[in-house]
Chains A and B, each alone.
Chain A
Amino acid sequence: MLVNKKNLIPIKISTIFILICHLLILSCYQMSGVTDQEVQIQNINRSLMCPVCPGESIDQSQHPLAIQMRNLVEKKINEGWSEKQVIDFFEERYGPAVLLEPSKEGVHLIIWIIPIIIFIISFGALIFVIKSMLRKKPIIKKENSN
């Protein structure tokens, strides 16, 4: 499978294909006409849970309360509040359940730490297993698996 001249044909073909794909992707990028502030408001809306509609953020939900909350977010941002201030304001009002992304402070830090621990332990175990399997090598005689 070494690179030699014969291999160049498939490579050329795949290059062209992939280039075409990506050119297509490129042409859909455009100026949006959505202001930065609108994007900021949308981001806040997406990180706040609608307290009365199960499983939906206030950005998604059409519930009157969600609409009311959306308007409030917009109002606060227009008044010059920062993103964090707005989110803290809602957290104080509705409790931590209103945050779609649990806080990275205090007890709930654990939700962010556990995945990292899962990752480290799993890959630690993987490396251990592979190493120990590789070490067995001399004991076992060659066997034809086919």
Chain B
Amino acid sequence: MIVDTGAIALLTALIISIYSSIASLLGGIWRINELVTSGKYGLFTVPPLLAIATGALIYAFITHDFSVKYVANNSSLDMPDVYTWVAIYAGNAGSLLFIAFVLSILIVILILNTSKKLPVSSPYINFIASIQLIFLLLVMVALDNPLDKLPVTPEDGKGINPLLIHFGMFIHPPTQMTGLVAVSIPFSIAMGTLLANRGQFDDWIDIGRIWGMISWTILTFGLVLGSWWAYTILGWGGYWAWDPVENSALMPWLIMTAFIHSIMVQKTRRMFRTWNMILIILAVSLSQMGMFINRGGPVPSVHSFAQSTMGWLFLIFMAFTLLSSITILFFKSNSIKSKNIIESIYSRETIFLIQNILFIVIAAITLWGTIYPVISDLFLNQIVTVGEPFYDKMTGPLMLLLIAIMGIAPLFPWKKGSNIKILKNLITPAIIGLFPMLIMLIIGFSKIITLFGVWIFGVAASIIFRELIKGTISKNKKAKSYLKAFFNLLSSNRPRYGGYIVHLSLLLFATGVIHSTFYSIQKDVPLSIGDTAKIGKYSFLYVDFKSNELKNRNETTAIFNVSKDSKYIGSLESNRTFFYKFKIAATRAGIRSVPLEDFYIVPSNFSENGDAVFRVYINPMIWIMWASGPILLIGAIIAIWPRKQNRKKS
């Protein structure tokens, strides 16, 4: 009964969305306010309706109603109720419902946000946004309804994929999905403005930038949480593997990063209008492609949780989005021509443009590597794999170049800069950056690439610090306290100084990446209880072994006493759980993490008496990588925070 109500709510949501999109578009064209308002109110009713559908699904999970196909496929009687949250998006249909629900809420916020500020564009914005919602709802209702029933009710469900039963699963997938779908919002704002012929007024820039930043931040956290989860919980020892699904989440992130910079050019100089449109169109297409690859795309991946044949629909929808947006852009491009031009190569505009191109090139190379196996399979009839080494070699240097550009960008003023001035300002940071590099060289770090990287990070960090410190000192005269002066500085130009803080966190992150990539140590050691082994400064004693037979799984845990430089530093547990029904083993690493390095131990198969081969890593600077996350969040919030007082000024 409740399930049926949910199904009806889902269908109603679809019908209302279709009505709202038509009403919004026609209301916009004919300028009938009542029609626009009715469309708006229609979209307001979608989140409650989808909440009913989601609630019905949750109810079916908790009551173990296996007559519902999705519940039977993604849960079992012995699944604890907390995992209902994970089960909701563990399969294709449920994750669609989740995405649609999130999108519908975002659309409501969007409407509240834009209907007063962008009165003319608002109907078109709502139209574009609702089309994306309709697509998701239509796929669900017509092809893969999470509330569909089975003809025969099974005794027990198939159960949830055990790899998903983990705390990490509570946050990484929803964040990632929210991030991907949130890209639709700045896209809707941009496209809606274009459709309304308001492109030349640049009135969407502030709202578009804020929504761009929001989706960028969520995407960033989706990626970081995924890496963190893979590293700490899955026991992969690494945090990024250039897996197709990882790539498909990275590509929209790359383009969004370009977008949130490039839009600053439009905000400040009323330029790059067409270019920003192209960027946001690319970003939304790539995020749709991300959903496609994640849903049974053509490339094998470790992420194929929500496998289905639905993927191709997303590809078709992506092609539709891309073609229709480009067509709109083509016909409206005259209306957004900018009179302003790049006045000098030595300007912030140029630097942003170079940065944009680099991001696009990295995204293009990633895309090429991701789809090449498909191309090779189709045209050459040969199955090949494109893995980590390709991406590392091809994109690594470009990323380093990006960081270098990120570092020197603050030296370039808007409009017109002088090359001599820029060079003069660069000399001191360049020398400062040399010091740490030289020290490393003297001590014996021989890998040129890390030395070079360290130099660049040093230069970039010193430029940012100089900007922050100089700004604080100049504000100090008025504020009379350095701390207050610093906060005044931050709020004087939030996008800029928030951006600097994000940049600093990225430098920390990059420091972690470059060191853990080039100085990580790995060793496989076979051990029996009572054995001691050594790696680097660490020695570890295999103290005890526990095996715990449960109904659906076998948990085995090894306990180690770890010493560093012959000093006892603590005990670590390293765990492996085997799930009988799924024939899947999930490992959990024992990690001792300090800012300088991680000691990381993960087991493979245990024999009955506890003998096992353990993989041990010493990964430098990983802690610093994760620590950069909160700093990034602080910077992003500063950059996102809208300032109302300043509206009058501009």
Contact = CB atoms under 8 A, between A and B. Distances in A.
Interface of A: 1-3, 6-7, 9-11, 13-15, 17-19, 21-34, 38, 42, 46-47, 49, 53-57, 60, 62, 67, 95-102, 107-108, 111-112, 114-115, 118-119, 122-123, 125-126, 129-130, 133-134, 136-137, 140, 143, 145
Given A2-B424, A101-B387, A34 B522 contact: yes
A53 B521 CA distance: 24
Given A28-B620, A115-B394, A126-B357, A3 B523 contact: no
A14 B535 contact: no
Contacts of A99: 384-385
B319 interface: no
A17 B368 CA distance: 40
A23 B439 contact: yes
B338 to A, nearest CB: 10
A136 B612 CA distance: 71
B425 A2 contact: yes
Nearest to B367: A118
A55 B341 contact: no
A56 to B, nearest CB: 6
Contact of A30 (B243, B340, B383, B537): B537
B597 to A, nearest CB: 5
Nearest to A31: B536
B596 A28 contact: yes
Contacts of A60: 236-238, 241
Given A122-B360, A143-B339, A28 B621 contact: yes
8 contacts: A6-B473, A10-B465, A21-B511, A34-B535, A100-B390, A101-B388, A115-B361, A130-B345
B361 A122 contact: yes
B427 interface: yes
Given A22-B454, A99-B384, A100-B387, A130 B350 contact: yes
Given A9-B469, A95-B383, A145-B269, A134 B345 contact: yes
Contacts of A130: 342, 345, 350, 353
A22 B343 CA distance: 39
Contacts of B342: 130, 133-134
A15 B435 contact: yes
Given A11-B432, A13-B465, A30-B537, A100 B470 contact: no
A4 to B, nearest CB: 11
Contacts of B511: 21, 25
A89 to B, nearest CB: 17
Given A10-B470, A122-B361, A97 B595 contact: no
A126 B469 CA distance: 34
Contacts of A133: 341-342
Interface of B: 236-238, 241, 243-244, 268-270, 300-304, 339-345, 350, 353-354, 357, 360-361, 364-365, 368-369, 372, 376, 380, 382-390, 394, 398, 411, 415, 421, 424-425, 427-429, 432-433, 435-436, 439-440, 443-445, 454, 458, 461-462, 465-466, 469-470, 473, 511, 515, 519, 521-523, 534-537, 585, 587, 595-597, 604-605, 618, 620-621
A25 B387 contact: no
Given A29-B443, A97-B385, A15 B462 contact: yes
B385 A32 contact: no
A145 B268 contact: yes
Contacts of A42: 522
B436 A22 contact: yes
B421 A2 contact: yes
A143 B340 CA distance: 7
B521 A34 contact: yes
Nearest to A74: B524
Nearest to B454: A22
Nearest to A119: B361
Given A28-B621, A126-B357, A136-B341, A62 B605 contact: yes
A60 B239 CA distance: 12
CB-CB nearest 9 A-B residue pairs: A100-B387, A22-B436, A54-B300, A10-B469, A14-B465, A101-B389, A28-B596, A55-B302, A97-B383
B473 to A, nearest CB: 7
Contacts of B443: 26, 29
Contacts of B238: 60
B605 to A, nearest CB: 7
Given A29-B445, A122-B360, 12 more contacts: A14-B429, A15-B432, A23-B439, A26-B443, A29-B519, A30-B537, A55-B241, A99-B385, A101-B388, A102-B384, A122-B364, A145-B268
B302 A54 contact: yes
A55 to B, nearest CB: 4
Contacts of B427: 3
Contacts of A31: 536
A42 to B, nearest CB: 6
Contacts of A115: 361, 364-365, 368, 394
A143 B270 CA distance: 11
Determine which residue in B238, B343, B385 has the highest number of CB atoms from chain A within 10 A of its CB, and name it: B385
Contacts of B620: 25, 28-29
Determine which residue in B344, B345, B523 has the highest number of CB atoms from chain A within 10 A of its CB, and name it: B523
B135 to A, nearest CB: 28
A67 B421 CA distance: 59
Contacts of A15: 432, 435, 462
A107 B383 CA distance: 13
Contacts of B469: 9-10, 13-14
B521 A32 contact: yes
A26 B354 CA distance: 33
A100 B536 CA distance: 29
Nearest to A53: B302
Contacts of A23: 436, 439
A3 B597 contact: no
A32 B618 contact: yes
Contacts of B521: 32, 34
